[in-house]
Structure 1
């Protein structure tokens, strides 16, 4: 069966046998042309003039092969690729640091469509009569093609058939979750992402997962945005610039001890995009927000009016430069919902740079950002459970909510009006002992705190891990998947019916009940109310697997 793939750039859906490929062979036109006797020439015409009729057939064959090789000439403009990047200033952020020669760079290579009859002339037909090469160890997924011309190499550089942007190796083989990271102006999103990705493998281990880089863009991002003592902080993402998606494969062990993999795609989106809900940039970035399974929103504390202008932050001469979180939330909501409905996917509301506002924080919050996130260990092992430690975070969630409400009631009101599933986090990407100097260089010991917490919570919300938030009312374990969307199950309920002569009779009927949790220990489904922190069982028990 064909494997369904959703492009992480244009979000068009297609089967794996519809992918296109970038050629591994490039004809740069710089090579010499060898005549029938091996003599080298600079051009076809020079070679043709050097041989008589007796070599006519051999020369004709060389000319044919030379013209066929022009199929692999580098392209100056790829129509599909160009149409995508036109929305983002006509400047691609795809980087090929390996090939110094522009003509050999990946984005300028010939894109081959294996279903195109003209393109098939350049491909090796497989034994099954197809031009596609499949990998039996990857669910028979289409992974490559083999070229007839040039170096006769096998190429596995897949691209989307609609926008010609690159598809990472094995992308589409596993379920995909999309997450948008939006930084309101000045929130330090780039520093946050750099610090997080530097430690993602360790952070994933805190909840029993293994994180594996899937794209070279992650390495490139880290090289371009280093956070190091004595070095200037990375510059913010330019308005209107689309950064390459940051893609990881996340591995976990299932209950039957087999390995499962989920692909996580993270989008780096500048908050300036949402300054004006009607701006073209909003329309260009809207698909990434709409398709996201969750949003992480970073707020700079100087955006709170009660903190603006203090000695902790430079006072803005132009108040319009300060983007209000409530305005950004309203604009984001208008983009993703386009209606009066509330946004019900998970939203992590993160206040960044908490290290700079300690005099505004309670002792509880100072302790919170001074200590690292800790998972929950499996007894008798050195490994952690595949859960987000919501039990430990609950008190901090309340404290952060109180802090934001005290400093910015408009933001709290906007959350209440437009969103249903949100949690609060406080983070510091540099740590309490680091200081940003006037020249933007970092002084002191850098030690990020709590930056992984919002993303780990997001992983629990998209179903990758569980949460110890809810206690199962059946087996009383705190190891359940809490869904951000409820679903219905059917249970048997005894009702009393009246027959003739007013004789009552009890009958069992199936009724629908609402649940939003499934226990990973006993498999039972139940309803958990986060506000009262109570779990509700159903008489007779919820159906195992409960429809999720």
Structure 2
């Protein structure tokens, strides 16, 4: 990783924190902030039916065709005959917990995507005649920061002041930060056997992350460090339970900007890896259950193989040589 030279963002590649697909800032998808269900579009189509066509009718038809580009995705269990599915997202989560892995954690998972590579739809789905927060689209439709990194586009039907989510073009999972990919990314996995305290450890690290940055030469930039409300550590309250091994934990991320030059920095991504996925599956499990566990372990193995650093947490009480000793210093 080169932290000294000025980057060329058009060629600088970064990895998706989910599938590790490599991309540049021009490759990402953008999630629109407005979406229409199939039922809403059908109702609008029916309400506009007339026997005589006028200029107003033709304009309405054109608007409806553009709105169809903003049709929301259907749930994979939908019985619709005209079902629109986000296949890459569904395929990724098949081995990582199923639809609960994205439906519960990502409220706008079904909103439409704006793909800069699809020029037949890109120009129809964005707005060029607007600005928000001092940001203005360039001639190519992209909104860049002061350093030239692409942050977003403005979609045609939404309030430009709303933040926009960027998506991996390969697995369609959300990139965790608005500037994810601008800085070199460091992946850190937190690994340990069941009940070793990984979730509590990460919870405390993230809660005090800003404090840890004091006198480091870096300041905390955009961050996605939200802790599950069921995992908050409280005084005089039971500690959080073990991580659910059936649903993959979404990565947590933070950008650290250099105090002397905010255009330079690093991004740190944390993975909370369930201890249950670090041990072989029980041979007595039903074949389907066993295969699902093996598939999850393959995904976890991919995370670990891409990590730049690993933090291993061990509870001494779980190590026989320590837990079975009768006296301090005696490890018989």
TM-score, normalised by the number of residues in structure 1: 0.48
Give CA deviations for 1:284-342 in whole Å, capped at 9, x if unaligned.
2111101111110111222221444789xxxxxxxxxxxxxxxxxxxxxxxxxxxxxxx
Q: Highest Rg: 1 or 2?
A: 1
RMSD: 3.2
**C-alpha contact (below 8 Å) 1:302/1:308 kept by paired residues:** yes
- Kindly tell me: are residues 268 and 32 of structure 1, through their superposed partners in 2, closer, same or farther at Cα, counting changes over 3 Å? closer
Paired position in structure 1 for 2:251 = 245
**C-alpha contact (below 8 Å) 2:178/2:222 kept by paired residues:** no
Paired position in structure 1 for 2:126 = 123
Paired position in structure 1 for 2:108 = 106
Match of residue 181, structure 1, among 168, 171, 190: 190
Match of residue 155, structure 2, among 133, 147, 161: 147
Give CA deviations for 1:102-142 in whole Å, capped at 9, x if unaligned.
xxx3211111111203322323469865233322x1x2111
**C-alpha contact (below 8 Å) 1:305/1:407 kept by paired residues:** no
Paired position in structure 1 for 2:232 = 226
Give CA deviations for 1:449-505 in whole Å, capped at 9, x if unaligned.
xxxxxxxxxxxxxxxxxxxxxxxxxxxxxxxxxxxxxxxxxxxxxxxxxxxxxxxxx
1:296-311 equivalence runs, <5 A: 296-308=311-323
* Matches of 1:247 and 1:25, distance apart in 2: 26
- Kindly tell me: are residues 234 and 46 of structure 1, through their superposed partners in 2, closer, same or farther at Cα, counting changes over 3 Å? same
Paired position in structure 1 for 2:49 = 48
Which secondary structure state, in structure 2, belongs to the residue aligned with residue 48 of structure 1? coil
* Matches of 1:249 and 1:129, distance apart in 2: 28
Match of residue 272, structure 1, among 255, 272, 276: 276
Give CA deviations for 1:30-73 in whole Å, capped at 9, x if unaligned.
7699xxxxxxxx64334425xx63x6332232133123212212
Q: Which has the higher contact order (CA 8 A, sep 6+)?
A: 2
Match of residue 190, structure 1, among 188, 199, 203: 199
**C-alpha contact (below 8 Å) 1:250/1:262 kept by paired residues:** yes
Which secondary structure state, in structure 2, belongs to the residue aligned with residue 273 of structure 1? helix
**C-alpha contact (below 8 Å) 2:73/2:112 kept by paired residues:** yes
Paired position in structure 2 for 1:132 = 142
* Matches of 1:189 and 1:119, distance apart in 2: 45
Tell me the CA shift for residue 235 of structure 1.
Answer: 1.6
1:218-367 equivalence runs, <5 A: 218-219=225-226, 221-253=227-259, 257-259=260-262, 260-276=264-280, 279-308=294-323, 360=328
* Matches of 1:14 and 1:231, distance apart in 2: 44
* Matches of 2:44 and 2:256, distance apart in 1: 52
**C-alpha contact (below 8 Å) 1:82/1:90 kept by paired residues:** yes
**C-alpha contact (below 8 Å) 2:98/2:247 kept by paired residues:** no
TM-score, normalised by the number of residues in structure 2: 0.76
* Matches of 1:213 and 1:166, distance apart in 2: 15
Tell me the CA shift for residue 180 of structure 1.
Answer: 0.3
Tell me the CA shift for residue 208 of structure 1.
Answer: 5.2
* Matches of 1:93 and 1:212, distance apart in 2: 27
Tell me the CA shift for residue 224 of structure 1.
Answer: 3.0
Match of residue 161, structure 1, among 165, 169, 172: 169
Uncovered stretches (5+) of structure 1, i.e. residues with no partner: 34-41, 100-104, 312-358, 362-405, 409-548
- Kindly tell me: are residues 213 and 184 of structure 1, through their superposed partners in 2, closer, same or farther at Cα, counting changes over 3 Å? farther
- Kindly tell me: are residues 96 and 72 of structure 1, through their superposed partners in 2, closer, same or farther at Cα, counting changes over 3 Å? farther
1:324-473 equivalence runs, <5 A: 360=328, 407=331
**C-alpha contact (below 8 Å) 1:25/1:153 kept by paired residues:** no
* Matched positions, count: 291
Paired position in structure 2 for 1:392 = none
**C-alpha contact (below 8 Å) 2:179/2:222 kept by paired residues:** no
Match of residue 70, structure 2, among 60, 72, 81: 72
Which secondary structure state, in structure 2, belongs to the residue aligned with residue 24 of structure 1? coil
* Matches of 2:217 and 2:155, distance apart in 1: 43
